[in-house]
Structure 1
Amino acid sequence: MIADLVLDVLNYVGIVAFAVSGALKAGEKGMDLLGFIVLGFSTALAGGIIRDVLLSRLPPVNITYLPYQLTAISASVATFVFYDKVSRHRDVVLYPDAVGLGAFAAIGADVAFRAGLNPLAVIAMAAITAAGGGVVRDVLAAEIPVVLRREVYATAAAIGGGIYMLLYYSLGRGPALLGTTAIVVALRLASLRYGWELPRVKNTA
């Protein structure tokens, strides 16, 4: 019962955080109110939709459950209204994005694990749930998705999938959800602070 409450809270935390992240990206690109809503909505819900389609959980929860949709839209509109104040802090988008990444990595791992998937699939679903919305956001904003070009992003979410399983077996579902969220957020923020990146091929052209 407590684990279900934790899961529900994390869902809303992730939706709000990613909706704000997507809406801030819309502001950076000079989009109008509709652009804020589209990017916020997509960033918040696309990862979960992709996960559910891959797991044959149809129709996806993020399409059928109205409170999730209304939460994403409300957070996007609020970001539009207060954008002038928020945008003074240029890196502000990184913090809600990190929180959303952690919350959705935990949720993706939980859904996959409880569906009986193997460990690699759990890790993959954690990464897809957490990073999928960000990929859609960047594509809509006409950018190469950050997950494909720099920074520890989807990697942090994938690590979260492994952490979830370890914590689940040692401490139970509720601590696994919270612990995974906290560790993924910490990894993401640390990667930003210290400039961690995955290896890349050097372009000599």
Structure 2
Amino acid sequence: MYAELIVEILNYVGIVAFAVSGALKAGEKDMDLLGFIVLGFSTALAGGIIRDVLLGRVPPANLMYIPYPATAIIASLVTFVLYPQVRRYRDVVLYPDALGLGAFAAIGADITATYCSTNRIESCWLLVITLSSITAAGGGVVRDILAGEVPVVLRREVYASAAAIGGVLYLALYPLGREIAMLTTIIAVTAIRVVTLLKGWELPRVRL
């Protein structure tokens, strides 16, 4: 029970951090109020929506459970109103964003594993890893596409790959119980993201 509460709290932390990230991108692109809301909402919730659609869980929970979209919209509106102040401290948002990444990766893996419960979970390992990554990083991809950019997860930063590692870890720990698997995944993905931020590590790329 306590584990579920912790995951839900971190889920809201992630929604707020991701929405602020999307709204800041809207500010960089000189968008209006609607642009702030659309990019904030998309960054926070699009990954989960894509996951649910791929799993056939429609309508998606992120559109049906009102507190989730309400939180994303409020965070986007606050960022719009306080844009100069929030932009000044944008680097601070990276750390709650890392917590959100871990929470979203764990939630994505858990929901997918539950969907696969009628089969042997071993047969769904690729699906679990993929949707764990999409849940965590899909919103950022949608944000960058709407902003007219190549998604940042495809050109720099250890982000979607950290979520994919979380999916692998969730699968490895699943036999010990869902709560242990989810909490450990959150801790591991958050730690990977924070360390790579502090060290400035990125995935290899072709050098011309």
TM, length-normalised to structure 1? 0.90
Question: Contact (CA 8 Å) 2:3, 2:183: kept in 1 or not?
Answer: no
Structure 1 CA distance for aligned equivalents of residues 144 and 5 of structure 2: 31
In structure 2, the residue matched to 1:10 is 10
Tell me which of 186, 197, 203 is aligned to 1:192.
197
- Which sits farther off after the overlay, 22-31 or 88-97? 88-97
Choose between structure 1 and 2: higher helix proportion.
2
- Pairing 1:149–2:149 present: no
- Pairing 1:124–2:130 present: yes
Cα drift, residue 8 of structure 1:
2.8
- Pairing 1:135–2:135 present: no
**Aligned runs of 1:42-191 on 2, under 5 Å?**
42-116=42-116, 117=121, 118-170=124-176, 172-191=177-196
Deviations 1:14-53 (A, max 9, x none): 2112111111222222222221111110001100010001
- Which sits farther off after the overlay, 130-139 or 95-104? 95-104
Runs of 4+ in 1 over 4 A off after TM superposition: none
Cα drift, residue 101 of structure 1:
1.3
Question: Contact (CA 8 Å) 2:17, 2:93: kept in 1 or not?
Answer: no
Structure 2 CA distance for aligned equivalents of residues 83 and 20 of structure 1: 10
Cα drift, residue 90 of structure 1:
4.7
- Pairing 1:31–2:31 present: yes
Cα drift, residue 13 of structure 1:
2.2
Secondary structure of the structure 2 residue equivalent to 1:87: helix
* Structure 2 unaligned blocks of 5 or more: none
Structure 2 CA distance for aligned equivalents of residues 82 and 184 of structure 1: 30
Structure 1 CA distance for aligned equivalents of residues 128 and 90 of structure 2: 34
TM, length-normalised to structure 2? 0.89
* Structure 1 unaligned blocks of 5 or more: none
Calculate the aligned-residue CA RMSD, in Å: 1.8
Secondary structure of the structure 2 residue equivalent to 1:199: coil
Cα drift, residue 85 of structure 1:
1.6
Structure 2 CA distance for aligned equivalents of residues 27 and 123 of structure 1: 33
Alignment coverage as a number of residue pairs: 202
Question: Contact (CA 8 Å) 1:3, 1:173: kept in 2 or not?
Answer: no
